[in-house]
Amino acid sequence: MVFILDQKSRYPIYEQLYQSVTRMAALGALEPEEQLPSVRALAQDLGVNPNTVQKAYQMLEHDGVIVSIPGKGSFLSKEGNAGSLWRTQILHKLHDDISEAADSGVEKSELHTLVDVCYEERGQKHD
Amino acid sequence: MVFILDQKSRYPIYEQLYQSVTRMAALGALEPEEQLPSVRALAQDLGVNPNTVQKAYQMLEHDGVIVSIPGKGSFLSKEGNAGSLWRTQILHKLHDDISEAADSGVEKSELHTLVDVCYEERGQKHD
Amino acid sequence: MVFILDQKSRYPIYEQLYQSVTRMAALGALEPEEQLPSVRALAQDLGVNPNTVQKAYQMLEHDGVIVSIPGKGSFLSKEGNAGSLWRTQILHKLHDDISEAADSGVEKSELHTLVDVCYEERGQKHD
Amino acid sequence: MVFILDQKSRYPIYEQLYQSVTRMAALGALEPEEQLPSVRALAQDLGVNPNTVQKAYQMLEHDGVIVSIPGKGSFLSKEGNAGSLWRTQILHKLHDDISEAADSGVEKSELHTLVDVCYEERGQKHD
DNA sequence: GTGGTCTAGACCACG
DNA sequence: GTGGTCTAGACCACA
């Protein structure tokens, strides 16, 4: 179970961790009901302050992505809350940005090209 | 000349102001060589500290969007730096978002559809 | 770690500090990845307001000389951005000065001689 | 009699004007005892505030480059104060910058090349 | 009047 | 503890 963090990012680590878990759950990389690493174990694994992991877990539980059971550990919630939430957020953000690009005079064809380019880049990375 | 700020936003005020000016310049709402409000005047107008406006103006000058002349005032740069800068920023943001969508399992065809939908909405607004 | 400032200089303090850090990094007096003093500590050390140090640090980060991580501190960038940046700046300044000398009627041979003289002085210092 | 000013320069206009006069006097473009334009005439000619011209003239008189006679006008001083002063300043500045370049690891040959390049550029401009 | 710099001191998010 | 943002208010050089 690997979470990728960028220490230099302008986004706080706990939020990167939150998104990382949500994303993996959305993609099915994490099974429903699967047990997550303990706060302390994950903190040590990532070389990060336990408080930071704790905060991410609290946010995840608050949003119904995971369930923490005192004395037992943290588990992904059974219902796939993460999946639909994640997709919705991404598509909503894209909608806003595309509209803004349109307002700024970007041609529709440019965006179609951009989409293709992004998917090609992604293909190459996985080679 | 109206700039809209959200004091509660997670983004700093000076950055909102920076983007606001850049955007208006890119859309042609501000004329090249046009004089911007003075630091103090705009600060009072926005209900914000002059230093905050100052920082935004200095960032804009650093990026070649405006020219500030001590004792005279601040003016939009004549060359359309704002336009290209804005385009670059928005396309960069879109690139990141699309890549994230792709990583999250969104199909390429969905994005092409989304682009078309956005441009249709835009068309209707102008009817 | 000593930075020398001239409070009476016509150049702002934050710029003196910026150049001081860049110069020391370029000369190897600061190690890559080395942690710089905290904003507050350096401000107190220099007898200067923290905001002034902050501005210098932000300029350094903007130019890729250092990396500031909220909650952790500021560190010299590992890649030797400082070195090339410093060289660029100093050669640019020399270019301007030489051009001005040329415009003012200084003979080319005089400048070649001046260069030699300077390097000889430097040689003697190290004897 | 043409003085070139850069409104956007970080250097104040009165100083640009001061240097412009000194430089032209040093090059012989202005004759000793030659009469300079009146403060008001020059101000209007340059599109600049009379106070600014006034300040430049005062500095020039203070440094013995010109002599202002109330009711008659301003004249270049007979002895070529400007010439030697100007050369000295330029060469001194160059000496410092070259030494700093040397300290920063710039090779002597690079500077000789730079000198040649600058003089070539100058040649082209006058074609 | 303008922009530019600096100080003193506050609050915040983060680790 | 750290860096980041913001305020209030001062002083300066310049036009």
Concatenate the DSSP letters of all residues of D42-86 into one string.
HHHHHT--HHHHHHHHHHHHHTTSEEEETTTEEEE-SS-HHHHHH
Q: With an 8 Å Cβ cutoff, is B111 touching chain A?
A: yes
Is the per-residue pLDDT at D122 higher than 60?
A: yes
Distance CA B76, CA D51 (A): 26
Distance CA A94, CA D90 (A): 57
- The pLDDT, as a whole number, for residue A127 is 56
Determine phi and psi for D107, rounding to 5 degrees: -75, 150
Looking up tokens 């440094």 gives D63
Mean pLDDT of all residues in C57-85: 89
C77-87 pLDDT tens trace: 987 777 788 88
Rounded distance in angstroms from the CA atom of residue D38 to the C1' atom of nucleotide E1: 26
Give the 3-state secondary structure of residue A73: strand
Q: Which two tokens stand for residue A46?
A: 């990532």
Give the 3-state secondary structure of residue D17: helix
Is the per-residue pLDDT at D83 higher than 60?
A: yes
Distance CA B25, CA B38 (A): 17
Is the per-residue pLDDT at C1 higher than 80?
A: no
Q: Which two tokens stand for residue C87?
A: 């060289």
Mean pLDDT of all residues in B10-37: 92
CB B65 within 8 A of CB B22: yes
Distance CA B30, CA B1 (A): 9
Q: With an 8 Å Cβ cutoff, is D122 touching chain C?
A: yes
Mean pLDDT, chain D, integer: 85
Mean pLDDT of all residues in D53-62: 91
Residue A81 or residue C32, greater confidence: C32
Looking up tokens 């100007």 gives D86
What residues of B are in contact with residue A105 (Cβ under 8 Å)? 27, 87
- The pLDDT, as a whole number, for residue D104 is 83
Mean pLDDT, chain B, integer: 90
List bases, strand E, within 7 Å of protein CB: 1-10, 13-15
> Which residue in A46, A47, A43, A3 sits closest to A23, CA to CA?
A3
> Pick from C90, C98, C119: which is nearest to D108 by CB?
C119
